[in-house]
A and B are shown apart, each in its own frame.
Chain A
Amino acid sequence: MSLKYTEFHPRWYRPRMPVFWWVGRRSYFLFVIRELSSVFVAWSVAFLLLLVSAVGQGGRQYQQFRHLSSDPWMLVLNAITLAFLVFHATTWFNLAPQAIVIRLRGKRVPRSWIAGTHFAGWAVLSVLVAWLILG
């Protein structure tokens, strides 16, 4: 960032932060890990689009996709991705009560109810999707 010094202006106090400022402390580390989960969200979308593209093109392409997805590297990548996705989901649902404030008859709906509803919705949707896919 370029600093512009002007006459009669006090000098800015802007200490430089090291790039890895988030490594030393657990809460900072978890914060950056949570932010990084978006990269794995993007990869999941790319993986999903590859699947849909293969399904749209035909049975042979679908088999090729299945072959690709059973590659050991791909399995490792997707296992890591799943861990990040679950971390994203749990942190997201736990934060939901901060963002959603509902009042019923003048009383605030407890935070645990709002988070709980999200977790329940997650479970129901996951079962529904699995049931649809497994037929």
Chain B
Amino acid sequence: MAKRKAEPLLWLLFSAGGLAAALLLPVLLALFGLVFPANWVSAPSYAHVLSVARYPLTRIVLLGLCVLALFHWAHRFRYTLYEGLQLRHLSMLIILGCYGGALVGSGFAFYLFLVVL
């Protein structure tokens, strides 16, 4: 019964995470993963990146993005394993691994954005 109650919430997180990831991740990954490392544009200074990252709105947006995108991954990957690789019989293990992973990652994100930064 508890599982059935959780399902709509998980779909909601999947959907919100999919939208957040689609809107924000490409530009962030393109800049920090390709454009700056390949020196197409010179990377911003440490002081500038720190000041942008510490701005309260940035923290809230990035923390939300990380948490939602992780639950988006958890939910979609769960069904990829179920259907793509036909591992439905390992359902319990997959559920624990996927949502557990997303929870651990979210905890780490909270720690980073609220304590470390």
Contacts and interface: CB of A to CB of B under 8 A. Distances in A.
Binding site secondary structure of chain B? helix
Nearest to B58: A132
A7 B73 CA distance: 42
Contacts of A39: 73, 77
B116 A56 contact: yes
Interface string A117-128: 010011001100
Size bin of chain A's contact surface: 35 or more
Contact of A82 (B30, B37, B70): B30
B44 A133 contact: yes
Contacts of B21: 41, 44, 85, 88-89
Given A38-B77, A39-B73, A49-B66, A19 B85 contact: yes
A59 B43 CA distance: 13
B34 A92 contact: no
Given A52-B53, A129-B27, A81 B33 contact: yes
Nearest to B91: A1
Contact of A126 (B17, B26, B109): B26
A47 B84 contact: no
Contacts of B112: 49, 52-53, 56
Size bin of chain B's contact surface: 35 or more
A39 B44 CA distance: 28
Interface of B: 15, 17-19, 21-34, 36-38, 41, 43-44, 46, 48-50, 52-53, 58, 62, 65-66, 69-70, 72-73, 76-77, 79-80, 83-86, 88-89, 105, 108-109, 112-113, 116-117
Given A55-B53, A125-B23, 20 more contacts: A35-B79, A44-B69, A47-B33, A49-B109, A55-B50, A55-B117, A56-B112, A70-B37, A70-B38, A75-B38, A82-B30, A82-B33, A85-B22, A85-B26, A88-B18, A89-B26, A129-B28, A130-B27, A130-B31, A133-B31
Interface of A: 1-2, 17, 19, 22, 32, 35-39, 41-42, 44-49, 51-53, 55-57, 59, 62-63, 66, 69-70, 74-75, 78-79, 81-82, 85-86, 88-89, 92-93, 99, 118, 121-122, 125-126, 129-130, 132-135
